[in-house]
Amino acid sequence: MTANGPRSGDEIRAYLRREVNHAVRRTGLYGGELALELYFRALSHAEGGEDDWAAERQLWRAQGWWGGTGIRGAIDLLMPPSRIRADDVVASVYAGYAYRAGWLDLDRLLTHAEYADLRAALPEWVAEDRRTSDVHARFGPPSLLLGGGNPRYPQTYLYAAGRFRPLLCLHLWNDFDEPLGDEPVLLVAREGGQPFGESCWFTPEGRRRCPVAAVA
């Protein structure tokens, strides 16, 4: 209890929404996937959406995104192993639900035409290796950046146009100890909401580094 009394329901929900957004953007700083799970569970409870959250978890299991180690287990197959884990890739899966639930605060919303262009272009555009600067030049800044701004670490770009259109996720990789260059390299682009390994488009570098690319 504070000096002004208990918080109202609206204040609690607003607080949890802010924390969900912070944790999605910088999952590693918040403690990884467990932090996401706890915040999402708490906000779902506060908003009376426990059944929706439980259904989403079941969908992830059915689609192959959830196992004994949560989303992390699937991501360990999708992305290359490293001491620096790609927490932003994990967060991108959670972000898809947060966006549909109306929780996610975006930096930019694409028009329907911009979204359609991006979705149509990705399968062929990733046939060549691409870097962060290439992504910006072709598609503009992301709707949401997951991960920090240090180019020596992995990042994920999310592009969104409407709550009922899947997020388009571009997963960029770099390693602090063995950098691929001055900026992250795109490994895989994917359409959110699809079964694991489907609607994933790998760059040549991604095919060399991502285990699941061998069967994609």
Judging by beta carbons within 10 Å of its beta carbon (0-12, 13-18, 19+), is residue 113 exposed, middle or buried?
Answer: exposed
CB 24 within 8 A of CB 36: yes
Domain that holds residue 97: 9-215
pLDDT of res. 76: 80
Q: 120 pLDDT exceeds 60? A: yes
Question: What does pTM read for this prediction?
Answer: 0.93
> How much is the mean pLDDT over the chain?
91
In a domain, 3, yes or no: no
In a domain, 56, yes or no: yes
Mean pLDDT of 91-112: 97
In a domain, 150, yes or no: yes
In a domain, 185, yes or no: yes
Mean pLDDT of 138-150: 95
Backbone angles phi, psi at 138, to 5 degrees: -90, -40
pLDDT of res. 79: 76
CB 109 within 8 A of CB 143: yes
In a domain, 49, yes or no: yes
Q: 50 pLDDT exceeds 90? A: yes
pLDDT of res. 81: 64
Q: Is residue 160 helix, strand or coil?
A: coil
| Tens-digit pLDDT profile for residues 54-97 | 999 999 999 999 877 889 888 887 777 654 567 999 999 999 99
In a domain, 55, yes or no: yes
In a domain, 201, yes or no: yes
> Considering its fold, how many domains does the chain have in total?
1
Range with the lowest mean pLDDT among 17-31, 74-88, 116-130, 137-151?
74-88
pLDDT band at 158 (very low <50, low <70, confident <90, very high): very high
For residue 86, which amino acid is it?
Answer: A
In a domain, 4, yes or no: no
Q: 1 pLDDT exceeds 50? A: no
